[in-house]
Chain A
Amino acid sequence: MMKNRGIGLKLILLILTSVTLIFFLIFGYNYLFSRRIIIKNVEKNARNLAQATVNRIDMVLRSVEKVPKSLAYFLESSSYSGGDMIDLLHSVVENNPEIYGSTIAFEPYAYSRNSLCFAPYFYKCKGKIEFKYIPYKYFYWDWYQIPKELNRPAWTEPYYDVGAGNIIMSTYSVPFYKTVLGKRQLMGVVTADISLSWLQKIIASIKIGQTGYGFLVSKNGTFVTHHDEHLIMNETIFSAAEARADARLRELGREMIRGKSGFVPFSSILTGKKCWMVYTPLSSSGWSLGVLFPQDELMADITNLNRIVIFLGLAGFLFLLVVIVLISGSITRPLRALAEAAKDIATGNLDIELPTIKSRDEVGKLADSFNYMKSSLKEYIKELTETTAAKERIESELKIAHDIQMGILHKIFPPFPDRPELDIYATLEPAKEVGGDLYDFFFMDDDHLCFTVGDVSGKGVPASLFMAITMTLIKTKATKGLSPDKVLSRVNEDLSIDNPSMMFVTVFLGILNIRTGELEYSNGGHNPPYIFHKNGDIEPLEMTNGMALGVVEDFSYQSKKFVLQKGETIFLYTDGVTEAMNEKEELFSEERLKKDINALKDKPIQEVAAGITEKVKAFSQGVPQTDDITMMILRFYGRD
């Protein structure tokens, strides 16, 4: 899918995904780590706070405990009167601000045989110290019965004291004894009541953030103080757990009343807010202090930080998005423009203005190369056009030259229809537009026919010019009465003078007496022609040992003579025939030529020429012709 998307989208997807991933990894780690640190600190502070509070309360309770204890000690160890006892109680309540009330309650008839109950009670009421005898049978009340049955001092559960001012109080009771006949006998209990309002004040002063608070539960789990007044003395932590069907809370409550301490995650029973709770017991009364630390408030800083970090991350994300869009745009825009331009260039429009790219980066270099390529192409095409034009001009000139060259050769056969003594046919097939082969025949007088075949060294225009010169020279030099050797010598002379290009031409020149068949010939380095004898033999004409013309100025050529019988044929050719090559770089060769001539010798001369041409073409089979192919066939009939 990505394959078809643009670079920009790919960059955005890949980079932003990676960056987001990295961001969240860092963020997550940071969050967890800082959270752990905060929780650790919270726990430390929470434990310290709880312990400090518990110590404050314990200090008061311990000091209160001392009073009834020493009173009990006094009662056990001294003899006292009723008046002493009442004075003592009065001063206890008066001198101990923490003590709300105090009594010495005796066992039934223990103080006096006449009274079942005896319990003088001093207590504070509206700033004054009041006195009364406890008016009810107190023997089965917790504050009396529990220390009695346990035989040790004990704090009571907190309770509403209905008689004395609707306050919550708790009583510390110390049993005291008398030894009668060696037996330790309970005499009664000494008590000190404390109002729990100061305790509630201490705990109410615990404020953790906006909603954190402390609470105290008694030995039975009853709420002694709590943020929610409905719970105080009304509910226990266990009834709260039952109401909320919260087994964890119940278990926590059990931990608390067992005197354990701890730091646990907790949901506020008031608000359901997530909190941490630290709990620790009062060593004096066995009650337990719990303090709730609202998580969200303690985590407010880290939450804020996280919010900012997320915001920054988001802003960074957007910034990055914009940057990537810009960068990818700066890359892909010129690339797209270049691609468009390339498409235009491909259609041949080299004049198109390439997009200007100022940057010096890879894209800039690409654009430069593109520009260079465009101008090079343009230049090249311009040159190509010029060259082509030049070539075309040359070609047309060569065409004309070809036409001229062909024009100077005989084209109409039979050339001498009024001369039945002989038939003559010639063909010249240049390898290029113009060539260096030549043939010619003309009558020097009524009886003598001069004929010649030549081959200029080299090819092309120089050779054709040399050929034209040679032909012209031959025509002008071959005057009546001159023998072939003389003609060649003269032509050679002229060609050799001013021949700076050191060109040369092989020429065979013969003069035939068409009355007698007498042939006088001279050969300037050319291939010896074949004679088709009457008896069917084919053999080359005897050599005259002449060298090519244009080489040595004063070379003297020799002539030889031969008499043609009626019906005999002379076959002249240039080496274009025998040196035609096939694909295997084999030459056509004189043997093959001789063989083919043999097969064709009785045919009309035009057919012979056509036949050989065909054979050569068939042999070379598509290999381009490298040399001019020239043949001239002369058949002698003689006069009747």
Chain B
Amino acid sequence: MPRYKIILCLALFFFITVEAVAGEKALKKAFFIPQWVPQAQFAGYYLAHERGIYKKHGIDLTIIPGGPDSPPLDFLKSGKADFGTLWLSTGIQMRAKGIKIINIAQVLQRSALMLVAKKSSGIKSPQDMNGKKVGLWGPIFQIQPKAFIKKYNLNVKIIRQSFSVNLFLRDGVDVASAMWYNEYHTILNSGLNPDELTTFLFHKHGLNFPEDGIYTMKDTFQRDPDLCRAFVKASIEGWQYALAHPEETLSIVMKNLQKEHIPATWVHQKWMLDRMKDLILPEDPNIPMGKLFAEDYNRVAKGLKDNGLIKEIPDFTFFYRECISHDEK
């Protein structure tokens, strides 16, 4: 992508100029790519960038906008990005495939993936799904639903679901996959009321597969662990700021989305930010944000293995590098 190269060159040039002329404290250059467009799901990173939190932590960060054409893993592998966000399940899968990525922070503590059904279709409990059409997304999104189906011993007809929830709205499927912070709200804003819907949030059904986490290549970490720690700390600080200042955060999110020509509504981004708060904050307020627990890791890894997506479970200690409380040690 030529655009990012230009940015890189410009940034590099700027960096050198600053270094040479101003002689200020050297900021470390870094590139970050989230897995999707700059919506509220990634508000913490954008806020940290906007509020100069990365600079405060000594990082001159460039955020590469994510999207369907920009898978973070490719960027990490090719070195076009130093940091990226991935789902924990993707991270484990890649690690198991032998890609040397490591998790340096697990931002989302809970899974936002859910199944939604209309009460009018008679579905009020998991058992009611028997014999129904269930819409599922691609493989990585299927681990939890399949475990759910197995757990409740259901016999369902799986239909591949697209990005839209229209098939579900038109009753083409009885049960739809949805992200709590995204498609569920789209369903609500297509005229269905919450009391007309039955929801199955996987994290409430013992299938908590925490999603977005921050990943880097093992090489990057070994080369500059301080940069990694600084990035994680600044990102967490950014999240704290974003959750504490929803109005400011939303206006920045909206601005970024408009810059990318992505249709967006304030209410949808607000819903997303509110859900992020629900998903990020640990239940125990004494536990710092962004930690990955072995328990969660093992649950996800086992789910992957059970589904044949990985053969062996990678060693947790190699997979995860604690960056949050490092200084305190």
Contact between chains at B190 and A236 (CB < 8 Å): yes
The docked-state distance in angstroms from the alpha carbon of A233 to that of B193 is 21
Contact between chains at A156 and B268 (CB < 8 Å): no
25 sampled A-B residue pairs with Cβ under 8 A: A139-B160, A140-B161, A141-B162, A142-B166, A145-B159, A145-B162, A149-B133, A149-B167, A157-B164, A219-B169, A220-B166, A220-B190, A221-B190, A221-B191, A233-B263, A235-B265, A236-B189, A238-B188, A238-B189, A238-B190, A239-B267, A242-B189, A242-B267, A254-B193, A257-B190
Chain B 167-182 near chain A by CB (<8 Å), digits 1 or 0: 1011111000000000
Contact between chains at B162 and A142 (CB < 8 Å): yes
A517 CB–B CB distance under 8 Å: no
The docked-state distance in angstroms from the alpha carbon of A276 to that of B210 is 49
B7 CB–A CB distance under 8 Å: no
The docked-state distance in angstroms from the alpha carbon of A541 to that of B169 is 157
The docked-state distance in angstroms from the alpha carbon of A326 to that of B264 is 72
A179 CB–B CB distance under 8 Å: no
Residue in B170, B172, B191 whose Cβ sees the most chain A Cβ within 10 Å: B191
The docked-state distance in angstroms from the alpha carbon of A154 to that of B170 is 9
The docked-state distance in angstroms from the alpha carbon of A149 to that of B172 is 5
Contact of B164 among A142, A242, A243 (CB under 8 A): A142
Chain B neighbourhood of A250, CB < 8 A: 191
A270 CB–B CB distance under 8 Å: no
A347 CB–B CB distance under 8 Å: no
Interchain nearest-CB distance for A257 vs B (Å): 5
Interchain nearest-CB distance for B79 vs A (Å): 30
Tally chain B residues at the interface, Cβ within 8 Å: 24
Chain B neighbourhood of A220, CB < 8 A: 166, 169, 190-191
B4 CB–A CB distance under 8 Å: no
Contact between chains at B167 and A234 (CB < 8 Å): no
Contact of A146 among B133, B170, B190 (CB under 8 A): B170
The docked-state distance in angstroms from the alpha carbon of A139 to that of B161 is 10
Residue in A146, A154, A220 whose Cβ sees the most chain B Cβ within 10 Å: A220
Chain A 102-141 near chain B by CB (<8 Å), digits 1 or 0: 0000000000000000000000000000000000000111
In terms of DSSP, what is the predominant structure of the interface of chain B?
Answer: loop
The docked-state distance in angstroms from the alpha carbon of A503 to that of B133 is 155
Nearest CB in chain A to that of B163: its residue:
A140
The docked-state distance in angstroms from the alpha carbon of A146 to that of B189 is 20
B293 CB–A CB distance under 8 Å: no
The docked-state distance in angstroms from the alpha carbon of A254 to that of B167 is 18
The docked-state distance in angstroms from the alpha carbon of A122 to that of B108 is 46
If A220-B190, A236-B190, A253-B191 are given as contacts, then 4 extra A-B residue pairs at C-beta distance below 8 Å, sorted by A number, are A150-B170, A220-B166, A234-B264, A235-B265
Chain B neighbourhood of A222, CB < 8 A: 190
The docked-state distance in angstroms from the alpha carbon of A234 to that of B167 is 19
The docked-state distance in angstroms from the alpha carbon of A501 to that of B167 is 148
Contact between chains at A239 and B189 (CB < 8 Å): yes
B13 CB–A CB distance under 8 Å: no
Which A215-266 residues sit within 8 Å CB-CB of chain B? Answer: 219-222, 233-239, 242-243, 250, 253-254, 257
The docked-state distance in angstroms from the alpha carbon of A253 to that of B160 is 29
The docked-state distance in angstroms from the alpha carbon of A233 to that of B190 is 12
Chain A neighbourhood of B169, CB < 8 A: 219-220
Chain A 140-163 near chain B by CB (<8 Å), digits 1 or 0: 111001100110001011000000
Which B118-175 residues sit within 8 Å CB-CB of chain A? Answer: 133, 159-162, 164, 166-167, 169-173
Chain A neighbourhood of B14, CB < 8 A: none
Interchain nearest-CB distance for B181 vs A (Å): 15
Contact between chains at A234 and B190 (CB < 8 Å): no
Interchain nearest-CB distance for A173 vs B (Å): 12
The docked-state distance in angstroms from the alpha carbon of A146 to that of B172 is 6
Interchain nearest-CB distance for B119 vs A (Å): 15
Interchain nearest-CB distance for B39 vs A (Å): 14
Contact between chains at A156 and B265 (CB < 8 Å): no
B318 CB–A CB distance under 8 Å: no
Given contacts A234-B264, A235-B265, contact A145 B172 (CB under 8 A): yes
